[in-house]
Amino acid sequence: MRKRLLSILIALLFLLTACTGTTVSENTVNYKTDSSLELHFIDVGQGDCILVLSENTSMLIDAGTKESGHKITEYIKSLGIESLDYFIGTHPHDDHLGGAAKVIREFSPKEVLMSDELSDAYFYEELLETLYKENISVTVPEIGCRYREEDFDFKFISPYESFGDTNDNSLVMMIYFKNTNMLFMGDAEKSVEEKLLEEEELKADVLKVGHHGSRYASNYDFLRAVEPTVAVIQSEKGNMYGHPHEEAIERLGEVGANILRCDELGTIVLKCDGEKIYYNEEELIKKEVITQISYIGNKKSHVFHRDTCGNLPKESNSVKLNSREEAIILGYSACKGCNP
């Protein structure tokens, strides 16, 4: 019976894939010169929830776990916000949409944009039932379409194709504000990053790190393309998944990102004037690369590793390589463990 109800709700609520709002040329820039943008990475434990605020627009990206629903709504109310312009659900996992039903009831967003990934979990059924009662339709956004608001633009840049995994099928989006870009990766990992390298210009000042800092996200080639000034990780202290993973932290450090973590700092608020990013009123400046990456090749297996890998060859079988590019040219394959 509940599966039948879920099917009916999906048929009633979901619109055809469409680009709503006003689309703009990639080169169009006509923002108010005195406006600013705030990113509130609300501490919801092991989950994602980001409030985006400009002078004229309010947007919530994901809504944490069901248990965090009350905290999210109280936080938003404390800022004097009574309604939302947008709610964006990146994918139907309970650490991203668990609190969404409560958010919808409290703030009746004008537009709800969600992926076409579905779930038969209770939190998702509750969300659809709430949307139906509030008479709010769901739009599946068109990937590659750029939306215009008075203060900023945003564009969904993934998934162009189905990756066969709910995390990788997360809606990935870029916000463009004056001369700054912000990239929000949902729970997308390596497969998506590799596809984006082929399809998109990825340079961004702020990176919401994919999948809570998983070891399988934030790979070197992707990070080199993004070159983030600040990387924000939303995870819970002592979580069972080991997020954020030390390898992801190391890679982020090596590209010079300022790493801000909700498990260490709680709720993180960034402010942007279109030129600079501020945290706690302090300007975040691009850091120098922390360490010089070294690579070690195995003469016998022709596999190469980062010098911190736990599977380094014996010294007699080792060869030092000056760069990843050199290793590839010499015919070495990358270690699957340390992912150099």
Whether residues 192 and 309 fall in one domain: no
Whether residues 29 and 77 fall in one domain: yes
Asked if residue 237 belongs to a domain, the reply is: yes
Asked if residue 242 belongs to a domain, the reply is: yes
Q: What is the pLDDT of residue 11?
A: 55
Whether residues 80 and 14 fall in one domain: yes
Whether residues 246 and 97 fall in one domain: yes
Q: What is the pLDDT of residue 34?
A: 55
Asked if residue 238 belongs to a domain, the reply is: yes
Q: What is the pLDDT of residue 316?
A: 82
Domain extent, residue 218, equals 2-283
Whether residues 102 and 135 fall in one domain: yes
What is the number of domains present in the chain? 2
Burial 277-314 (b: 16+ CB within 10 A, else e): bbbeeeebeeeeeeeebebbbbeeeebbbbbebeebbe
Whether residues 222 and 321 fall in one domain: no
Amino acid at 186: G
Q: What is the pLDDT of residue 24?
A: 44
What CATH number is given to the structural domain containing 68? 3.60.15.10
Whether residues 218 and 313 fall in one domain: no
Whether residues 235 and 265 fall in one domain: yes
Q: What is the pLDDT of residue 275?
A: 92
Asked if residue 288 belongs to a domain, the reply is: no
Q: What is the pLDDT of residue 40?
A: 97
End-to-end CA distance of the chain: 50
Whether residues 130 and 279 fall in one domain: yes
Whether residues 265 and 197 fall in one domain: yes
Edge-to-edge, what's the strand order for the sheet holding 37-41? Answer: 138-139, 111-114, 86-89, 58-61, 50-53, 37-41, 268-272, 277-279, 282-283
Whether residues 268 and 182 fall in one domain: yes
Asked if residue 339 belongs to a domain, the reply is: no
Q: What is the pLDDT of residue 27?
A: 40
> How far is residue 214's CA from residue 249's CA, in Å, rounded to a whole number?
9
Whether residues 81 and 17 fall in one domain: yes
Q: Tens digit of pLDDT per residue, the chain (340 long)? A: 355 545 555 655 666 555 654 444 444 444 344 579 999 999 999 999 999 999 999 999 999 999 999 999 999 999 999 999 999 999 999 999 999 999 999 999 999 999 988 898 999 999 999 999 999 989 999 898 889 888 899 999 999 888 989 999 999 999 999 999 999 999 999 999 999 999 889 999 999 999 999 999 999 999 999 999 999 999 999 999 999 999 999 999 989 999 999 999 999 999 999 999 999 989 999 876 655 567 888 888 888 888 778 788 888 888 888 777 778 878 888 888 777 7
